[in-house]
């Protein structure tokens, strides 16, 4: 299925669609607590929200969707919650892989993947081994795992510093474009829209370089309740905004 083959319903059709949408999925724990459940209950239902948002984004014509699944700071949570999240993500990757591939959605992963548990890394390797022909590619789903923007920028500086030290690069040749080419998102356009759920209004160390001119959309909706209607509302709000990039 190609992007031109989409059967977009009238209520989904949008005047202006961002090529790349980034999402900070927040509120799973509070949603579970409000129902008298453990935090992992919220994370499990959060997977359902991811499924709905991915489907909606692809139908709307979004080319790249990047979700913040686990940050480097999340390791500070209780061990049982972290272990449960790791198992949940590993299982979700495998259970959703065939459906995503069949819909022309490619999975990509960014972050310090080498530090993740082996079971999760095995799921990632399985997903990354899948190839979708360009003519069938509908959307790329980027999953940020063990990710932080400061880690990403630090790694880029180390790579560039090594090139300078080896004499393969002059400091005068370091440009914003060169830095972008050494980030985990190299080859991926910067997001035009960032969505954050649960009422929090901060970036939480997510894609700090890439979000320089991104439109920010904050909603009080907790992530497990963020579905098709909420995603379309965010996309429509983006369509109403005028992006000037500092110009008049």
Question: Residue 67: beta bridge partners?
Answer: 23, 143
| Residue 165: count of CB within 10 angstroms of its CB | 9
48 is catalytic: no
Does residue 43 contact residue 84 with C-beta atoms inside 8 Å?
A: yes
Does residue 158 contact residue 179 with C-beta atoms inside 8 Å?
A: no
- pLDDT attached to residue 242: 82
Q: Is 194 annotated as a binding residue?
A: no
**Cα separations in angstroms, 79 against 75, 104, 139:** 8, 36, 34
Q: Is 96 annotated as a binding residue?
A: no
User: Coil, strand or helix: which one is 158?
Assistant: helix
Phi-psi domain of 207 (left: phi exceeds 0; alpha: psi -120 through 50; beta: other): left
Q: What are phi and psi of 147, to 5 degrees?
A: -110, 145
- pLDDT attached to residue 14: 82
Q: Is 26 annotated as a binding residue?
A: yes
pLDDT tens, 178-220?
999 999 999 999 999 999 999 999 999 999 999 999 999 999 9
Closest CA to 69 of 49, 95, 97: 49
Q: Is the pLDDT of residue 6 over 50?
A: no
Catalytic residue of the set 6, 74, 112, 190 = 74
Distance CA 49, CA 172 (A): 46
Q: Which two tokens stand for residue 20?
A: 């790349």
Catalytic residue of the set 4, 5, 26, 146 = 26
Q: Which residue do the tokens 């904050």 mark?
A: 218
Q: Is 31 annotated as a binding residue?
A: yes
Distance CA 149, CA 22 (A): 13
Where residue 13 falls among pLDDT bands split at 50, 70, 90? low
pLDDT tens, 115-138?
999 999 999 999 999 999 999 999
pLDDT tens, 79-107?
999 999 999 999 999 999 999 999 999 99
26 is catalytic: yes
Q: What is the mean pLDDT of the chain?
A: 94
Q: Provide the 8-state DSSP code for 233.
A: H
Domains along the sequence of the chain with CATH: 3-150+189-240 (3.40.1180.10)
**Cα separations in angstroms, 120 against 49, 84, 126, 145, 189:** 20, 11, 10, 10, 27
């Amino acid at each position: 299925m190609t992007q031109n083959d989409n059967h977009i319903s009238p209520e989904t059709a949008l005047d202006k669609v961002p090529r790349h949408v980034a999402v900070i999925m927040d509120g799973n724990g509070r949603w579970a607590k409000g129902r008298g459940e453990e935090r992992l209950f919220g994370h499990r239902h959060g997977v359902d929200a991811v499924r709905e948002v991915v489907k909606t984004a692809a139908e709307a014509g979004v080319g790249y969707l990047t979700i913040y699944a686990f940050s480097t700071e999340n390791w500070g949570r209780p061990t049982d919650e972290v272990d449960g999240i790791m198992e949940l993500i590993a299982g979700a990757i495998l259970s959703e892989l065939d459906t995503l591939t069949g819909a022309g959605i490619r999975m990509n992963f960014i972050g310090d993947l080498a530090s993740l548990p082996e079971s999760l890394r095995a799921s990632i390797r399985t997903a990354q081994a899948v190839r979708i022909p360009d003519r069938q590619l509908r959307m790329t789903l980027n999953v940020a795992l063990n990710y932080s923007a400061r880690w990403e920028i630090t790694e880029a500086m180390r790579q560039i510093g090594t090139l300078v030290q080896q004499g393969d690069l002059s400091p005068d040749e370091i440009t914003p474009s060169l830095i972008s080419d050494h980030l985990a998102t190299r080859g991926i356009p910067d997001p035009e829209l960032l969505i954050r759920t649960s009422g929090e209004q901060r970036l939480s160390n997510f894609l700090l370089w890439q979000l320089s001119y991104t439109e920010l959309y904050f909603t009080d909706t907790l992530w497990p309740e963020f579905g098709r209607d909420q995603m379309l509302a965010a996309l429509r709000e983006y369509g109403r905004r005028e992006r000037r990039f500092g110009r008049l």
